[in-house]
């Protein structure tokens, strides 16, 4: 039996393990030729499928249908037209494709390690899946996909920046022999998304609970907008299109058709960008913004429709400046403004209280790194980028390596609630509110937290005729303004079945599982004995939006209740 961590990315997926017998933390290559497994599933005309690198290599082949970026359409809130545009239908749904992909790469991992069981699987999710009702269902959908694999015993989903921060904290401890206590600015730039997250890490002992708080986040792309943003994919597609249109054979074309042949050329360009990092760094460091000189310098040649398409360093620079630079600059400014307002000293390059870490495949591109280093004035001996990274290449693997550490209990994270939840209720004909769990409250998984009165005793409710009115949720620390949430009819019916007696009195509680998914608990109150019975009755809230219809969410000023 093995415990593993997974960074399930929109563009690439990485799998890591911690080998207890050798105390080695590593990312597994499988048979893909590299640890970066393309998040791709390809079907041929006979409905045979291939995944990962093999699937991606089928791009452009006749009769082959390619599925990509299926991670960010796992929630049921994605528009059906948008799903259709991505090639999904009622048979090949995002859930089915995701399940097919993950099941097969995990089975390959077990085969390569001569194991037949995964004891604990920890898989990363975007931070926005934990604090946005629009994407909140995604974590439970992903968790259920993995739970359905008969070779997996336990599944936990964790925030990607929290997993990466755990890895960086681990590195700091291994090098300095003391815990990291401070802030980490994680800049995660991938194929479709830029995620910038500021975390705070604190704790006394590595193997005891380390508290990792997400203080702020911003970004663009799939995680924020539900579509490919100004990131790696947009950059490579634009570079390829501009390079093709510069070719003499296409001089009369105004645009290029984004078909299988084009995407094959983009894949080839991606491979060149990944493998030729040294000449990229050398030429841009020497010639800087000298666009005329760089336009005369060939970076590589890509085959497209039997033509040899020359890609110059000048095209790389001009496309970066036109579609990437401002996006990165604007998002960094948002985070810097937050840090200024919160008095976080992000300029100190001599101490160990603030660290900057780049993650994601596109974050490794020279022009991205240069822009970020220039923005923060990072010098040669700057400690803001040292101490938390063993080697630069591991930054791209940070989420995967962090989930592996968590899966093996090498480092433990204090658990906090993703949101506040409670109810409106009537007592003595007066409507008031009460939270059972508060946003960012430290919690124990599976423990029931009951609504309590001022004496911390369980609140006693009558049956629905005079008890629960509406639920209330809050995705922020602002207790004065929350969201009123009217339960769906199906949920109300379940609740009525449990509390159907008009003379029943009961207490209400909530619990969260290892993935932050909530369940509602009902306890009968025995007036004669002043005791609670039948507390095992539970309504599992499999997905957040199974409980609440987003259309019923509306702001409410708590002070007016």
300 bridge partner residues: 311
Full-prediction pTM beyond 0.85?
no
Together in a domain, 369 and 448: no
3-state class (DSSP) for residue 151: coil
**Given this model, what pLDDT does residue 391 score?**
75
**Given this model, what pLDDT does residue 236 score?**
92
Residue 425 CA, chain-centre distance (Å), reads 35
Q: Which residues of 13-48 are buried (b: 16+ CB within 10 A; e: fewer)?
A: bbbbbbeeeeeebbbbebebeebbbbbbbbbeeeee
Together in a domain, 101 and 213: yes
**Given this model, what pLDDT does residue 313 score?**
96
pLDDT at 381 over 90: no
Report the pLDDT averaged over residues 408-427: 76
The dihedral over CA atoms of 444, 445, 446, 451, expressed in degrees to the nearest 10, equals 50
| Structure confidence by residue, pLDDT tens digits, 261-282 | 888 899 899 889 988 999 999 9
Average pLDDT score, the chain = 81
Judge whether 476 lies within some domain: yes
Residue 83 contacts residue 370 (beta carbons within 8 Å): no
Judge whether 543 lies within some domain: yes
Q: At what angle do helices 366-375 and 325-341 cross, to 10 degrees?
A: 30
| Structure tokens given for 14 | 């990485």
Residue 39 contacts residue 45 (beta carbons within 8 Å): no
Query: Could you list the residue range(s) of the whole structural domain that residue 39 is in?
Result: 2-226+340-413
pLDDT bin (cut points 50, 70, 90) of residue 520 is: confident
| Furthest C-alpha separation in the chain | 91
* 237 compared with 134, residue with greater pLDDT: 237
Together in a domain, 387 and 438: no
- Give the H or E element holding residue 195: strand 193-202
pLDDT bin (cut points 50, 70, 90) of residue 466 is: very low
Nearest one of 59, 28, 98 to 270, comparing CA atoms: 59
Judge whether 300 lies within some domain: no
Judge whether 298 lies within some domain: no
Torsions phi, psi for 220 (to 5 deg)? -140, 165
* 90 compared with 476, residue with greater pLDDT: 90
Q: Specify the long-range contacts of residues 256-262, CB closer than 8 Å, at least 24 apart.
A: 260/59, 260/60, 260/61, 260/64, 260/66, 261/60, 261/304, 261/305, 262/237, 262/304
CATH number at 83 reads 3.30.420.40
| Structure tokens given for 115 | 């194991």
Residue 382 makes CB contacts below 8 A (sequence gap 6+) with 349
Together in a domain, 59 and 136: yes
Torsions phi, psi for 266 (to 5 deg)? -65, -40
**Given this model, what pLDDT does residue 149 score?**
94
Of 111-120, 231-240, 505-514, the poorest mean pLDDT is in 505-514
Together in a domain, 110 and 80: yes
Judge whether 480 lies within some domain: yes
Together in a domain, 455 and 387: no
> How many structural domains comprise the chain?
2
Of 193-202, 204-213, 428-437, 549-558, the poorest mean pLDDT is in 549-558
322 vs 478: CA distance, rounded Å: 39
Together in a domain, 64 and 121: yes
**Given this model, what pLDDT does residue 559 score?**
45
Together in a domain, 375 and 494: no
Q: Which of 356, 378, 413 is the last residue of a domain?
A: 413
**Given this model, what pLDDT does residue 516 score?**
64
3-state class (DSSP) for residue 237: helix
Q: Sign of torsion, CA 130 135 137 141?
A: negative
| Structure tokens given for 99 | 């399940």
Together in a domain, 108 and 217: yes
pLDDT bin (cut points 50, 70, 90) of residue 134 is: low
477 vs 417: CA distance, rounded Å: 11
pLDDT at 131 over 70: no
Q: What is the DSSP string of 471-512?
A: EEEESSS-TTEEEEEPBPHHHHHHHHHHS--TT-EEEEEEEE
Angle CA 21–22–28, to nearest 5: 100
168 vs 468: CA distance, rounded Å: 45
| Structure tokens given for 459 | 């609140």
Q: Are strands 420-427 and 468-474 parallel, antiparallel or unpaired?
A: antiparallel
Judge whether 272 lies within some domain: no
| Structure tokens given for 187 | 């800049």
Judge whether 234 lies within some domain: no
Together in a domain, 406 and 532: no
Residue % of the chain over a pLDDT of 90: 32
Q: Which of 398, 413, 428 is the last residue of a domain?
A: 413
| Structure confidence by residue, pLDDT tens digits, 211-269 | 888 888 888 765 555 555 578 888 999 999 999 999 988 878 877 887 778 888 998 99
Residue 535 contacts residue 521 (beta carbons within 8 Å): yes
Together in a domain, 424 and 549: yes
* 234 compared with 320, residue with greater pLDDT: 320
Judge whether 305 lies within some domain: no
Torsions phi, psi for 511 (to 5 deg)? -135, 160
Together in a domain, 443 and 514: yes
* 554 compared with 92, residue with greater pLDDT: 92
Q: How far is CA 140 from each of CA 77, 123, 289, 516, rounded to the nearest angstrom?
A: 13, 12, 47, 9
Q: Which of 385, 413, 441 is the last residue of a domain?
A: 413
Residue 438 CA, chain-centre distance (Å), reads 22
């Amino acid at each position: 039996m093995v415990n593993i961590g997974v960074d399930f990315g929109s563009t690439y997926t990485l799998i890591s393990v911690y080998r207890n017998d050798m105390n080695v933390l590593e990312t597994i290559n499988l048979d893909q030729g590299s640890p970066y497994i393309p998040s791709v599933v390809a079907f041929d005309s006979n409905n045979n499928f291939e995944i990962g690198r093999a699937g991606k290599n089928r791009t452009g082949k006749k009769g082959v249908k390619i599925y990509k970026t299926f991670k960010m359409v796992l929630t049921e809130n994605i528009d059906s037209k948008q799903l259709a545009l991505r090639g999904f239908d009622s048979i090949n749904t995002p859930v089915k494709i995701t399940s097919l992909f993950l099941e097969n790469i995990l089975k390959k991992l077990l085969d390569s390690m001569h194991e037949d069981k995964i004891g604990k699987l920890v898989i990363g999710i975007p931070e926005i899946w934990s604090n946005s009702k629009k994407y909140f269902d995604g974590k439970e959908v992903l968790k259920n996909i993995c739970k359905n694999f008969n070779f997996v015993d336990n599944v936990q989903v964790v925030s990607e920046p929290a997993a990466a921060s755990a890895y960086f904290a681990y590195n700091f401890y291994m090098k300095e022999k003391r815990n990291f206590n401070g802030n980490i600015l994680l800049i995660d730039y991938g194929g479709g998304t830029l995620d910038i997250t500021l975390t705070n890490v604190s704790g006394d002992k590595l193997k005891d609970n380390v508290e990792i708080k997400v203080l702020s986040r911003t970004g663009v792309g799939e995680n924020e907008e539900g579509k490919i943003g100004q990131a790696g994919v947009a950059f490579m597609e634009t570079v390829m299109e501009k390079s093709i249109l510069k070719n003499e054979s296409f001089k009369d074309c105004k645009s290029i058709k984004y078909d299988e042949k084009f995407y094959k050329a983009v894949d080839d360009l991606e491979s060149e960008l990944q493998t030729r990092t040294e000449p990229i760094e050398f030429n841009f460091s020497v010639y800087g913004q000298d666009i005329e000189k760089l336009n005369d310098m060939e970076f590589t040649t890509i085959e497209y429709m039997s033509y040899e398409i020359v890609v110059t360093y000048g095209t790389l620079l001009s496309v970066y400046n036109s579609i990437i630079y401002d996006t990165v600059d604007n998002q960094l400014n948002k985070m810097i403004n937050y840090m200024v307002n919160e008095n976080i000293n992000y300029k100190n390059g001599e101490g160990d209280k603030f660290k900057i870490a780049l993650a994601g495949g596109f974050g490794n591109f020279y022009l991205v790194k240069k822009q970020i280093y220039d923005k923060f004035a990072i010098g040669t001996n700057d400690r803001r980028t040292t101490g938390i990274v063993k080697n630069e290449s591991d930054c791209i693997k940070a989420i995967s390596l962090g989930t592996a550490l968590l899966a093996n209990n090498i480092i433990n994270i204090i658990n906090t609630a993703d949101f506040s939840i409670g109810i409106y209720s009537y007592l003595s004909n007066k409507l008031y509110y009460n939270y059972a769990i508060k946003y960012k409250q430290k919690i124990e998984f599976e423990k029931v937290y009951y609504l309590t009165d001022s004496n911390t005793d369980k609140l006693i409710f009558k049956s629905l005729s005079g008890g629960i009115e509406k639920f209330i949720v809050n995705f922020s620390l602002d207790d004065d303004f929350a969201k009123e949430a009217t339960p769906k009819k199906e949920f109300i019916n379940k609740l009525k079945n449990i509390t159907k007696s008009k003379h029943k009195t009961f207490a209400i509680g909530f619990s969260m599982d290892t993935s932050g998914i909530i369940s509602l608990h009902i306890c009968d109150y025995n007036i004669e004995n002043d005791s609670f019975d039948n507390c095992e009755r539970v309504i599992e809230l499999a997905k957040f939006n199974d409980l609440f219809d987003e259309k019923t969410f509306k702001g409410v000023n708590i002070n007016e209740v």
